[in-house]
Amino acid sequence: MAFLRLWWLKPALPTIRTPSRVKLARAPRTTWRVLRPKDKVVLSWGNSLLGMVNALASRTPLRMPELRLIQALGSLGDPNTAMYGGELVRRAAKALGAKPILFPAPAIAASRAMRDALYADPHVCHTLELARTADLAVVGIGSSHSDSVAIPDLWRFLPPDALPDLLARGAVGSMNLRYFNSAGRLVSSEINDRVIGLNLDEMRKIPRVIAVAGGPSKLKAIRAAPQAKLIDVIVTDHVTATELLNNN
């Protein structure tokens, strides 16, 4: 396994070093403590990130006017809900006193041709260029299980056989709606051809990538992501952290 820092969400746990070079660090009060005042920060999408943004919003607002929060993926789901990509970025930026940079496109285009047309839009191009030069990414890791909370918002945009097809191709999870297998490699699929946002290679080039994810349905994906150097840090619950170590 690649070197991975693991922040788990139960306080007062010691820092230990295991033979597999996985480091468990005592969880910080918030993931955002690693921010620098002039960072460009990519924010992905998902229920785990919603929980993190909710916690951030409950704290005393900060003032980081030169910090830029960039939406890494077009918006998915109901625009009136808190999990909507643009709303996540806006709420996080408000709590940090930062500048939000929104992605003016859907997360999944109606077709590959529509995706290509949207990629040609100057506003989409500008947002993507900023995202590609980010200093830090904070992302969720999606499950390929049908009981995932994100599945209803996602699969209503796709044909009924899309999920079975991904599973048949070996998908174990996703990052920024880019599905990958147990080795962390991209799974070629219809959904990948229609997603509008950073791809795995672009995410991998961001200097620091923090993933927020947990639960038994995501164990395979959490193990796979550092293998392919997709993430540097995983913020998770203590049960998932223990399972990761016990089965490493």
Structural domains of the chain, ranges and CATH numbers in brackets: 34-246 (3.40.50.1360)
Q: Is the pLDDT of residue 115 over 80?
A: yes
The pLDDT of residue 213 is: 86
89-103 average pLDDT score: 93
Tokens representing 14 are 């010691």
The larger pLDDT score, comparing residue 70 to residue 2, is at 70
C-alpha to C-alpha distance for 38 and 92, rounded to whole angstroms: 16
Q: Is the pLDDT of residue 197 over 60?
A: yes
61-71 average pLDDT score: 92
Residue type, 103: F
Q: Rounded to the nearest 5°, which phi and psi values hold at 99?
A: -95, 120
User: What are the beta bridge partners of residue 5?
Assistant: 23, 233
- Calculate the alpha carbon distances from 231 to 48, 74, 147, 148, 194 in Å: 16, 21, 24, 21, 23
Helices and strands (DSSP H and E) totals, the chain: 10, 12
Residue type, 65: P
Q: Is the pLDDT of residue 23 over 50?
A: no
Q: Is the pLDDT of residue 38 over 80?
A: yes
The larger pLDDT score, comparing residue 155 to residue 64, is at 64
The pLDDT of residue 50 is: 82
Cβ distance 222 to 200 under 8 Å? no
- Mean pLDDT, the chain, whole residue set: 81
Cβ distance 42 to 198 under 8 Å? yes
163-176 average pLDDT score: 91
| Residue 131: band (very low, low, confident or very high) from pLDDT cuts 50, 70, 90 | very high
| Residue 187: band (very low, low, confident or very high) from pLDDT cuts 50, 70, 90 | very high
Q: Rounded to the nearest 5°, which phi and psi values hold at 215?
A: 105, 150
Q: Is the pLDDT of residue 102 over 50?
A: yes
| Count of C-beta atoms within a 10 Å radius of residue 41 | 29
Q: pLDDT over 90 for what percent of the chain?
A: 44
Q: pLDDT over 70 for what percent of the chain?
A: 79
